[in-house]
Structure 1
Amino acid sequence: MNPHSLFSPADPRRPVRPAARDLQLLGPYQLLQRLGSDRSTQLWRVRPEADRPASSTDLLLLPVANGAQPLAEGVAPARLSALPPDGLLRGRRVDLGPAGHGCHLAGVSGLTLLERLGPEGGPVPSPADWVAWMAEMLDHLASLHEAGLRPPGLSGHTVLVEPGGRIRLIGIELAREMDPRGEGRREDLLLAGLLLHRGLAGRWALDEPDLPRAAQRLEREIVRLGWALPQPLPAALRALANRAIDHDPARRPLSARSLAQALRGWLDSHRAQRPDPLERLLDQVPTAGVLPAHADLPEHLAALNRLEGQRIDAWIVCLFDEPALAFELLRGLGAVGLAGQVQPDEIATLRRAVQLVGLHGVRQAAQGLRPWPGALDHTAAQSLAHRLAQASRAAHLAERLCPADHDGEAAGLLALLQALGELLLAYHFPEAQRQIEALTQSTAPLPSGLRPLTLEAAAQAVIGTSPQALAQGLARHWGLNEALQHAMQPLPSDRPVRAPETRLDTLRCAASAAGELAAGTPPQTVEQRFQRALGWTRGEASRAVAALTLAH
């Protein structure tokens, strides 16, 4: 094939997968997938022709024929070896014949920034996470500049995010000499500013994914971060990001090192101003309680009084309607050290808590709850009431849907615990909850390629942690065992449900199914996901929902 046909820049948002019948070859490499390209470089996932395993993690970075080129002889290896090793992913400079030179990277672990921002890249990075990545990238860029060198290109496909979160620049073997006037330094810094903008804005500046081309357009066009952003953005960070791509070069940062220091300064200030949300929660619980008593608490206590002398099972079902009381009993179990004294595949249960304190103890625990609605205003109280009702419904459904040879009460408790994170958000962080809802339920049209955030991503953006992390942190504080902490995480709704391997897995599965039903997922959809894992008969989810509706 004509090697120059590889080098026409393509939109890096649309990776190319060659058909099996038309495999693209370049020297000894089979080109499998183009991961990104711009006017300077292209990055390909490749397989060496002599070694064709079932999958490959090898990458090949190529300079584009009509873009900036490294010197013909390349930079002296001694100069490259003197560079700091941590932030530069080492590869091998390879001769590709008429196509020139490339950089082969074998066994690469991680995702490029472009992949990380793609639909399969995982949760959207919070502004703080993105700023930390950019600061680290700028440090590596500064090391190159201070050695009188430039990377072959700086774009979303030439920066790697390793599994542990470390940032690496790739293609250093194709590094270029810095020009005497330092124009290359200013260009690299502008490209870094455009990358910073992309992660914060959720879209490419000027809708141009080719960063060198976008940098040229900035000579005659002005770009600022808009106000309709995918995640909330503090004013100080907005100002830093806008300055990095300012139309006037004199107003931009002087060097990669200075921009990295400015971003880290903002990051340190941001973290100092926002205390750890779990610490804040644990500080509030002694005075505000875990949750306030339900508005219907007197009615629920009357029902408990009528059950005196009956089997504990009847008490437990009644406690499902009062999550605050159920959590208080569970906390008490942890306080006396019994919650952790169970077998690894079991969990502490409400039955054990009720057996410990008796009906009199349950009444005392109820009297210690904060009255409804605590310090919440009317809107926040309505939001919490809705979530409490949904959690109670999930607990009742979990008990009904649990396989007959398993503990339905334990499944109901897990359903309550799987809802605990969102309940804590609604009660202890009501303002943050409103922001999170706005990010996850956007009704306004979003720019092409953007979607409303997931609950986890939105919570990370607003308070710096996820609802599940809050719930698990509180469970650890109570002394609940690791088995329960694991089981209180609902199964991801976007992944297939695997067959449970233990009894506890089965309880977690039943609780997750109940949670999806209580949230309004159609029973047919839930049944398709969980039928095989829980051994349901056809229509069992629909019958459970109908029976619960009649009972209440």
Structure 2
Amino acid sequence: MTDFAPLSTAKRWALGSTDKRPTSLGRFELKKLLGRGAQATVWLALDPRLQREVAIKLMRPVEDQDPSVLEHWLREARHVGRLAHPFIVPVFEADVQGRQPYIVFEYVPGKTLAEHLAQQGRCTPHDAVALMVDVLDGLQAAHQAGIVHRDLKPSNIMIDTQRHARVMDFGMAAPVQAVPDSQLASGTPAYLAPEAAAGAAPAPAMDVYSAALVLVELLTGRPLIHQKDAWQALYRVANETLVLPEDLGPGVDDALRAILQRAMAREPGQRYPSAAEFRDALRAWAAPASAPTAASNATLDFLLRRMRHKSDFPALSDSVARIQRVANSEDDSISDLTHEILKDVALTNKLLRLVNSVHFAHAGRGTISTVSRAVSLVGFNAVRNMALSLVLLDHMQDKAHASQMREEFLRAMMAGSVAAELCEPGQAAEEAFIGAMFQNLGRMLCEFYFPEEARQVRALMETGRVEGGEESAALQVLGLGFEDLGVGVARVWGLPESLQRCMRKPLGSPTQRAPEQGVERLRWVAMAANEVASTLLASDAGSLEARLGQIGTRYSRTLALSAAVISEGTLRARHKLVALAEALDLRVAPGTPAARLLQLPPAAGAGPAQDDALGSHELRASETQPLPAVLESQASGAVSVAQVNEVLAAGIQDITNAMVESFQLNDVLRMILETMFRALGFRRMVFCLREARTDLLTGRFGLGEGSDAAVRAMKVPLKAPGDLFAAVCLRGADTLINDATEPKMQARLPEWYRAGLNAPSFLLLPLQIKGQTFALIYADQSTAGGIVVDDKALGLLRTLRNQAVMAFRQAG
């Protein structure tokens, strides 16, 4: 066969025997090397015939082989070329010249998953699952066409500009149940299914297994089989049953673990029977089973992809999902909620400022300095709702549209406050608050993620010629109403179905008969509250009170409340919003719509408001005093000794206040650990309690990084000779080991501690009654010398420890 000169250069380049880059391959002009692997190089090329850019995969030449081998490869490549699916990169053509195989496929601007992981690290669970759903969709299409990919891995998956994952490189593909070809490679060892490594005939189950390994890599940031040597990797595939890592990242629950474990089962028959069933299981995990998935709505799917393209959306989704999962937990949810909030210093500080504002002044005595105390006094649902609100506020920060975002947040908070005032205190009020606030979710998301489209929606509304109001305007601009956008995202976040229903406004005019208590009434309350918020935002002072009165009259029968009661509730909500804005230091410019939300009516008997009346409500930095327990410096890790002592003292006062009233022992213990945790900035803490039967001090609950594993690891044998922990507990001596890495200290540490925790520095505070240790507070840091405790701080820590002893005595 004639060996054309351009092809010879390409062949030598593919073999690595020349430094000269080829400039052409047949009719294709090679423009840029995109990547090089063990078996091939990939080029960006120009097809002059069709005047389009393409990608060309230049395989290594196959020397001295039966020509039928190349014909077999070419026939299979052409077969793959007939695949057409949005999530498969199409093959345009394949050919062999001079024993030099190459494949021409669509050029997809973007990154491979491998490049994405190398640059940004692990994905959030919802982002990883969304990408894998695309991959499995493409694989299902290939399997239905009778093709098995056989080489699925992160470098063979592209992320396009719309954040879709697209499967590429079917160079190793084979027909289902084809006779395995021992002369050609059939995949990358680290991603091979066990039966593929054993030489079994190609089957869809092999791709399902590989997809599961890719998803694990997306969640962890590293391959499950990480051996570089191909034979070592093949040995593991052939002989080991792979186990999921303990750490799959925050937000990965038991349900997602179970999905992964089934997909990567060693026996093919125990896996999902098809890529489609694996895909559907992931979709069901990402969204409530009772609702259609986002993928069933092309427009919503497109908008979600655009939002995920912004780096903040996955983080926002994860924050909301974590808080919501805690809220749905049936065991120890108060501890879990506290733990989740404490992970975010900024969220902790803002929440404590909020619970100490006028809004919640009635809830307790003095300053609340711990999240545990806040949950105990204000209520689990109230703190959950505040945390969700603050997460939205924190993540939706955009300097270019700051004033508009602040306006949307204040509007949503006003609606929530009004709704809560229109319900009986308790569970109903908290559900009304979050339901009314989240009725604005679609608009808030549009304003933050699609500011240009949000501007177009406002412009359409200003013309006054849009029938159907804001929803119709959003439908014209986005292809989807704000309500559908908000509910769609809420579904992806896993928010409760009752909340999703509450986010949809009731159809028609307010009913003349009040609906029964439940979701239906909450929908009407949320609708009325949002109408109040919109009226406050859009009305001038002269017409405002009259318009609010009309709303009260219109909804009076529906809500079974008099117009006067609705008016009084609205006024209380307005005062609370002003207090909330002051607590969070939310400033607005005078004369803006947002400023109207913070404009209070004149008190009864007062004269008419002056033009500059807003000046008295303008928020200034000096008006919001920092709480003793709020350490802004914690965010940067620089905490002074004075600040440490201030936080400890505030916590002691908070706990004293709690113990004056009736209290739950676990609540007080959480408050004590949280105070120490926030003040000293420990990495993790564990509270241990003695088991009478075994005479062991065992971990009961903890805080901080890896605290769940630390709780399981803490098992102090009180009567074990030579055990440092047992000796400390026997003496009842408060002990700080500032450098546990020293050889002498390492020799004294018990084996159970070195195997399970082995921190470079740690603090032990035993709890004793009548000279007998019955509990232990353990805290550690990640660096030697990382725990700094002066005499005053030690005295305050001992006071907190003694409060724990007193709490046990009082609890009996």
Q: What TM-score does the superposition give when structure 1 sets the normalisation length?
A: 0.46
Structure of greater Rg: 2
- Scaled by the length of structure 2, the TM-score of the pair is 0.33
